[in-house]
Structure 1
């Protein structure tokens, strides 16, 4: 089978094969694991087409890689490569629509992989953020066009536009693959004529190996780890509101956040930067009002090895997001056996069983419920070890590389059999 993948970012394998500098996996793309697992299937001949910043081509480990900067090459590439099937990863970006159109013109079947569900992400993007931070005036929009910031009304408009693109694309889809009950339901609504195939994720290889997490003696200084906090959908603001209750029991507790801290260029530029990055300003002000600023630490961007170490050094993993499909970070934490607390939103209940494999709480904005769940783990006799072991056992099945690769190959075969005249 000749399969063409379209991916909206440059995968580390593609960067390395094409000789591009800076090949890394800081992005955390789970496609790196899925691609590596598929290389053990000799019946599959993969060409991976990435949308990047420079045109390049290369080959490594039996896979052909092409990196393109635009969509004009799609139709000629399909004529040149003549794949049996086109697999488009993600449904909300312009290149996906362009490739779908080119494949349709060439008479090729297309399989779409749902990654997030932009309809729901857009609906919940700014949940819990006061209206004053969600609106910016004309002056700030003018400045944003010159030096881009992160204005929330601009971000909301972008998410709404992506949701509309996703809906238009899925409305024409014939084959869709996803992972959770949440995206199966979304597919039924957005792609009612499509056949849905379930296929789980294969995560980054490093998280399957080495020593798993073990509970430690943390005394008054437990570490709560949040994998992302730079935009409001990830709900850092509720984690901040939950922290005082944890500090009341553990006075030296730390909230560690993967990613960059709020930008600060000194007192002269601070007011301008604060207005251009309103969500970071809101979280900074909220931390100051709650008296918890000294208990928050940002790590900066983390590659796979550093991210793995951050999980191992934590005592509880937090995922209070207002919407998620099947978050990679939760899967990675579960693979390592780190006890997890997450909001019961989107596809998360499909990944983790409440009370046995971790703790879920109902309303993502309920800081008391989040704090109570964290304290239940910290105060448990085993420090969450039983939850972590059960989560790890579940994740090793959900994210089994060989099984997921085999299921994806079977999906390809099924589609091609259906397409035979």
Structure 2
């Protein structure tokens, strides 16, 4: 069985095999999935393809029994030539929203194509700027001109980009015959966008660094618990509601700290500061909330974190917070659960499918309800065991959900079922 994967980024193994710089490349969860499938007893013959502007033409390499193929653009013609050269039995497109996914789908023609849902971009676009003041949502001609030279964080342009991605997702799913997903949330999305497609459930394998000990242990935090947020650079991830929830928590724990993984708001000195604030309205508004709510000294940014550093950030926190307006099966929640860190999350998308409220973590209602978020976080922090039992149950659940061996076997089984329907095996 020959299977071609199309992935949205060049993973480190592909870059290395094709002679490119493999540093500072993400996609660790794809690496974990690839390793599990590659080493499965009945592993297919795999080719992993991605679009990479650093190559001049089709560039291939191999490592660990896997062939890697890089194309300089995501044209249907380029994919058709690759398919003609490789003659795969099946194509697996990882993700729905990027333009290359639709081009590959077109190039494949009658070849069986399995489309894998990652996030649900249609829902992300719908909720991208929830909770943000209208004054942050509109840019002028001068801002847009500056953005073309030095990209900023203009929210209306971000909305346009997400709307384009959502349209691409709709086109891919409307033409899909076979879809794999992992939550009731994405299954409902597929039912609406691809009602005639066959849906195959398959859970996700996460980055390998998060499966092994040491795991999280409660510490004596006294008046200074640490909350961890994995992303805060755009409104969908909802840093603003966490900030609005902090004053109530600080009344109980005056030394509490919120750590936000990633870069802090950009600051290039007093001369450029007004322009930067103008070009990054969401970050500017969040910085204003910090000042208005008296949160100075209580919000820390970690800077970008690789897998090892992110793992350590989980271990050093007392509570993981996931307040997003839209998620399918967020990797950050799965990683925190694998490490046994107590978690509080919004009731968004597929989150309730990953973590049972009250048994494996705590889920609050509307993502933008700051009072509910504060109350739920306080309830966990106030537990006699500081959430250790919730974390232990979460780890047990996550080890089953993200079991690499089982997920690889399930995925290979899906390939065989599709090919059997198509008369390929």
**Shorter-chain TM-score: which interval?**
over 0.9
Aligned-residue RMSD, C-alpha: 1.1
Aligned to 2:413: 410
Q: Distance in 2 between matches of 1:388 and 1:171?
A: 40
The 8 Å contact of residues 53 and 73 in structure 2, kept in 1 or not, is answered as: no
Q: Distance in 2 between matches of 1:142 and 1:203?
A: 40
Q: Distance in 2 between matches of 1:249 and 1:69?
A: 55
Structure 1, unmatched stretches of 5+, are: none
Q: Distance in 2 between matches of 1:282 and 1:22?
A: 36
Higher mean alpha-carbon deviation, 49-58 vs 127-136, is at 49-58
Q: Distance in 2 between matches of 1:249 and 1:329?
A: 27
Measured against aligned partners, the alpha-carbon deviations of 1:48-68 in whole angstroms (never above 9, x if no partner) come to 001223224221111011122
1:74 to 72, 75, 79: 79
1:86 to 79, 91, 100: 91
Distance apart, 1:28 and its partner CA = 4.9
Q: Distance in 2 between matches of 1:382 and 1:175?
A: 45
2:167 aligned with 1:164: yes
Runs of 4+ in 1 over 6 A off after TM superposition: none
Measured against aligned partners, the alpha-carbon deviations of 1:92-136 in whole angstroms (never above 9, x if no partner) come to 1111111000001xx311000011111110110011000000111
The 8 Å contact of residues 130 and 325 in structure 2, kept in 1 or not, is answered as: yes
Instruction: Name the SS of the counterpart of 1:177 in structure 2.
Output: strand
**Counterparts in 2 of 1:289 and 1:28: CA distance versus 1, 3 Å:** farther
Distance apart, 1:13 and its partner CA = 1.8
| Matches for 1:134-145 after TM superposition, within 5 Å | 134-145=137-148
| Matches for 1:295-314 after TM superposition, within 5 Å | 295-314=298-317
Measured against aligned partners, the alpha-carbon deviations of 1:134-172 in whole angstroms (never above 9, x if no partner) come to 111111111111211110000011111111111111111
Distance apart, 1:24 and its partner CA = 4.6
* TM norm structure 1: 0.97
Q: Distance in 1 between matches of 2:17 and 2:237?
A: 33
Aligned to 2:270: 267
2:34 aligned with 1:35: yes
2:42 aligned with 1:47: no
The 8 Å contact of residues 32 and 205 in structure 2, kept in 1 or not, is answered as: yes
Aligned to 1:133: 136
Measured against aligned partners, the alpha-carbon deviations of 1:219-241 in whole angstroms (never above 9, x if no partner) come to 11111000000000000000000
**Counterparts in 2 of 1:58 and 1:28: CA distance versus 1, 3 Å:** closer
Instruction: Name the SS of the counterpart of 2:379 in structure 1.
Output: helix
Distance apart, 1:410 and its partner CA = 0.3
The 8 Å contact of residues 54 and 67 in structure 1, kept in 2 or not, is answered as: no
1:214 to 202, 213, 217: 217
Higher mean alpha-carbon deviation, 6-15 vs 67-76, is at 67-76
Aligned to 2:289: 286
The 8 Å contact of residues 151 and 277 in structure 1, kept in 2 or not, is answered as: yes
Q: Distance in 2 between matches of 1:38 and 1:260?
A: 34
Aligned to 1:194: 197
* TM norm structure 2: 0.96
Higher mean alpha-carbon deviation, 368-377 vs 407-416, is at 368-377
Aligned to 1:95: 100
Measured against aligned partners, the alpha-carbon deviations of 1:2-27 in whole angstroms (never above 9, x if no partner) come to 000001111122123223224355x3
Structure 2, unmatched stretches of 5+, are: none
Q: Distance in 2 between matches of 1:211 and 1:147?
A: 42
Instruction: Name the SS of the counterpart of 1:291 in structure 2.
Output: coil
Distance apart, 1:88 and its partner CA = 0.4
Distance apart, 1:69 and its partner CA = 2.0
Measured against aligned partners, the alpha-carbon deviations of 1:156-204 in whole angstroms (never above 9, x if no partner) come to 1111111111111111110000010000000000111100000000001
Aligned to 2:119: 116
